[in-house]
Amino acid sequence: MTRTALVCGAGGFIGSHLVTALKAQGFRVRGADLKHPEFGETDADDFILGDLRDQSVVAQVIDQPFDEIYQLAADMGGAGFVFVGQNDADIMHNSAAININVLSACLNTGNRRIFYSSSACIYPQENQQDPDNPNCVEHSAYPANPDSDYGWEKLFSERLYQAFQRNHGFECRIARYHNIFGPLGTWQGGREKAPAALCRKIAMADQDGTIDIWGDGRQTRSFLYVDECVEGTIRLMRSEVVEPVNIGSDELISISDLAVMIAKLAGKRITHRYIDGPEGVRGRVSDNRMIAQRLGWAPAARLQDGLRPTYDWIAAQVADGGGDAA
Ligand code: NAD
């Protein structure tokens, strides 16, 4: 029997890579999203274009039992989208509506096994003030104090999935993703994240050019290449781990050093100009002890290895169609 999977958010960055991976494993895959993948054809067997805030659309998408359901659809973006304030009502309303609709439709159709993509943004801001020692161990999530409404919605939805698990016999698997990057991700337009934005700025800069960096550049993060994110997602889905778990890299790097690494790959001598901009917390890194212990697997690739194909892909996009230097 062919196994079946549904990917909500299949037109997005991680969702489109996940569809490709599930197809390669022999699944029959349905994708659903507001939009088709931006940078290429979907590999899904069928793709429903629709708004998952609308219950009637979700009833059409979840109209049968699936072996695996992955819920990645969300109204989201990088710091320039989630930390600026103007998008908070949309972020909270739209993503919560999607999650409520998806869970209700699963309840009605006997679907019980579902993966939900939460975020490192749920962690309390006071644990992420020291750029060299951020604390993102899973059990530190409470008492809760995320620094954005995006993080609060993710935390609410984690709890929603867990409540369905407790009260309705669901088997939910919840990942807290930490900064995923790679080819086919948003790289301009305001929703892109730091690695893509820096790749774009450096690709557009002259050989001895200057790029703008938001903040003082000393804020730290870790970045996970999309292939390992997809592998972790599928492993978690098929595991028995019912608590939320980090899926991220534990290689901590400052934003300045990230820009230096990318400039080296590009073979350019780049000067940094530090400007005001949305920065988020001072430090954030994935704590991988739980995933290693519970899955017997943790992301291991080096940042530099994922940056090479990412930079090359973004540089090709810039060469093809311009791009916005800001
Ligand atoms: P993405 O924005 O590329 O993908 C999300 C997709 O959801 C988009 O294609 C979008 O069109 C779709 N969507 C939004 N509203 C919708 C609606 N009303 N109906 C149907 N589709 C809708 O983002 P991504 O980077 O692929 O992230 C996937 C998931 O992982 C998201 O839930 C995100 O919050 C979470 N996450 C991502 C990261 C990261 O670094 N990329 C980090 C933490 C968590």
- Residue ranges and CATH numbers for the domains of the chain are 4-180+224-247 (3.40.50.720), 182-222+251-285+302-316 (3.90.25.10)
38-48 average pLDDT score: 96
The Å distance, Cα 167 to ligand 1 centre, comes to 27
Q: Is the confidence at residue 14, as pLDDT, over 60?
A: yes
pLDDT of res. 326 = 58
Whole-structure pTM over 0.75, yes or no?
Answer: yes
Of 150, 54, 169, 149, nearest to 102 by C-alpha is: 54
Q: Is the confidence at residue 164, as pLDDT, over 60?
A: yes
Mean pLDDT (the chain) is 96
Whether residue 158 has its Cβ less than 6 Å from ligand 1: no
pLDDT band for position 85 (50/70/90)? confident
Whether residue 226 has its Cβ less than 6 Å from ligand 1: no
Q: Is the confidence at residue 124, as pLDDT, over 70?
A: yes
Percent of the chain with pLDDT over 70: 98
Given a contact cutoff of 8 angstroms between Cβ atoms, the answer to whether 53 and 218 are in contact is no
Q: Which of 7, 8, 14, 87 to mutate to test the pocket of ligand 1 (most atoms within 8 A of CB)?
A: 14
Q: Is the confidence at residue 152, as pLDDT, over 60?
A: yes
Whether residue 51 has its Cβ less than 6 Å from ligand 1: yes
Q: Is the confidence at residue 27, as pLDDT, over 80?
A: yes
Percent of the chain with pLDDT over 90: 93
Q: How far apart are CA 252 and CA 258, in angstroms?
A: 10
pLDDT band for position 272 (50/70/90)? very high
190-208 average pLDDT score: 95
The Å distance, Cα 276 to ligand 1 centre, comes to 26
pLDDT of res. 278 = 85
Q: Return all residues near 85 (Cβ < 8 A) that are at least 6 apart.
A: none
The Å distance, Cα 63 to ligand 1 centre, comes to 22
18-29 average pLDDT score: 98
**Largest separation between any pair of C-alpha atoms in the chain:** 60
Q: Is the confidence at residue 153, as pLDDT, over 90?
A: yes
pLDDT of res. 322 = 62
306-310 average pLDDT score: 98
Q: Is the confidence at residue 140, as pLDDT, over 70?
A: yes
Q: Is the confidence at residue 325, as pLDDT, over 80?
A: no
262-278 average pLDDT score: 96
Whether residue 15 has its Cβ less than 6 Å from ligand 1: yes
Report DSSP letters for 101-158, one per residue: HHHHHHHHHT--EEEEEEEGGGS-GGGG-STTS----GGGG-S---SSHHHHHHHHHH
The catalytic site residues sit at: 150
Whether residue 94 has its Cβ less than 6 Å from ligand 1: yes
The closest-lying atom of ligand 1 relative to the alpha carbon of residue 193 is 40
Q: How far apart are CA 28 and CA 103, in angstroms?
A: 21
Q: Is the confidence at residue 255, as pLDDT, over 90?
A: yes
The closest-lying atom of ligand 1 relative to the alpha carbon of residue 224 is 40
Q: How far apart are CA 42 and CA 37, in angstroms?
A: 6
Helix-strand-coil split of the chain, %, nearest 5: 40, 15, 40
The Å distance, Cα 269 to ligand 1 centre, comes to 34
Q: Whose CA is nearest to atom 28 of ligand 1?
A: 72
pLDDT of res. 82 = 85
The closest-lying atom of ligand 1 relative to the alpha carbon of residue 35 is 11
